[in-house]
Amino acid sequence: MDKNNEKKRGHAIALFSGGLDSTLAVLLVLRQNIEVTALTFMTHFGCDLGDCSSCGSNPYPVAEKYGFNVKLMHLGQKFVDIVKNPKHGRGKNMNPCTDCRILMLNEGKELMEMLNADFIFTGEVLGQRPMSQVKDRLNLTERETGLSGKLVRPLSAKLLKPTDPELSGLLDRDQLEDISGRSRKRQIELAEEFGLQDYPAPASGCLLTDENYSKRLRDLLAHTEHIGFDDLNLLRVGRHFRLDKNTKVIVGRNEPDNLQIMVYRRPHHFVLEAVEIGSPTTLLIGDTSEDNIKKAAMITARYSADKKKPSVKVTLTSDDTNPTYDVPPADDKDIALVRV
């Protein structure tokens, strides 16, 4: 790929996850001597640079290799709001794919206007995803964002209505693709042509498509009026239990979980740990009645190193006291009734 200072024919904004499809879309546009500014989004639901999926791939190595710029943007509360109340519905789990795409395109549109770029493009493939990448949904996102004529899908362009940059000659339609469906055969061929290696396997990367995570999120939304980012981050770790409408318990599965739980712990969360043995870190959130404390202690004991003993000493840590409770480990049948 040419990375010299040859004068560019135009400027485009890419929605760029770092996955194979979005990378190929960028390369197809770069091949036509168009400057590309790629916009990579992060959320509290799995799209971050620490993830190994295509949604969270580090965008910088490929950008450096092929010569385009990357800007990072965290969608923050804007994305949380559409997760709570998606205008266009959800997929199988808690994923508001169409609303997510509209939000990202609106952010990309603002950047396009700010930089006076010519068009915006994505790595979407017609028919690849049943909710967000069928033709009527692709048309819907154009209408909702006001990007009709300015939104290009290079991988499926020949199957879609010509866009303004194609009609004006800024983009050569013949050099774009006509990929559709879930097969990756043509993408792999293009990757070889461009010398693209080490791209991530296809995966949504979005926790909102995960069934277990979605159950936890539904539970949180049903029982918590004001949700903070720490609440969302805690959904990723540990085992979750709902004691009553106001109270939940989170129990670490391993040492990394225990550490993360303490990172996201807030002052009003109570911490429980079994005394002087291998123990999970447990958070008690909500109604800290004596009965709920004892239930949380019993669950903690169940997942401690002494889970087969008749009783286990569990210490509660709050702001001013550290009482110890001698409790039997919770029975698996009782735990199953409160597991989220």
Q: Is residue 132 part of a domain?
A: yes
For residue 78, give the CATH number of its domain. Answer: 3.40.50.620
Same domain, 188 and 216: no
User: Mean of the pLDDT values across residues 22-30?
Assistant: 96
pLDDT at 55: 57
pLDDT at 189 over 80: yes
Q: Is residue 205 part of a domain?
A: no
β-partners of residue 10 are: 34
What values do phi and psi take at 53, rounded to 5?
-80, 175
Same domain, 26 and 161: yes
Tokens 């890419």 sit at which residue? 14
Note the pLDDT tens digit of each residue in 223-253. 998 888 999 999 999 999 999 999 999 999 9
pTM of the model: 0.85
Same domain, 286 and 175: no
DSSP label at residue 339? B
Q: Is residue 83 part of a domain?
A: yes
The sign of the CA dihedral 257, 258, 260, 265 is positive
User: Mean of the pLDDT values across residues 268-278?
Assistant: 93
**In the predicted model, what is the mean pLDDT of the chain?**
91
Vertex 127, ends 67 and 36: CA angle to 5°? 15
Same domain, 266 and 153: no
* Residue-number span of the structural domain to which 290 is assigned: 210-338
User: Mean of the pLDDT values across residues 16-28?
Assistant: 94
Q: Report the 3 state secondary structure along 277-330.
A: CCCCCEEEECCCCHHHHHHHHHHHHHCCCCCCCCCEEEEEECCCCCCEEEECCC
Count up the domains in the chain and report the number: 2
Same domain, 217 and 299: yes
Same domain, 190 and 231: no
Q: Kindly state the tokens that stand for 290.
A: 């004596």
Same domain, 169 and 108: yes
Same domain, 225 and 150: no
**DSSP codes, 100-136:** HHHHHHHHHHHHHHHHT-SEEE----BTSSTTTSSHH
Same domain, 44 and 162: yes
Q: Is residue 202 part of a domain?
A: no
Same domain, 330 and 228: yes
> At residue 55, what is the residue type?
C
Same domain, 158 and 50: yes
Percent helix, strand and coil across the chain, each to the nearest 5: 40, 15, 45
Q: Is residue 321 part of a domain?
A: yes
Note the pLDDT tens digit of each residue in 139-158. 999 999 999 999 999 999 99
Q: Is residue 78 part of a domain?
A: yes
Q: Is residue 99 part of a domain?
A: yes
CA–CA separation, 249 and 278 (whole Å): 19
Same domain, 178 and 311: no
pLDDT at 98 over 60: yes
Write down which residue in 150, 165, 194 finishes a domain. Answer: 194
Q: Is residue 200 part of a domain?
A: no
Write down which residue in 128, 163, 194 finishes a domain. Answer: 194
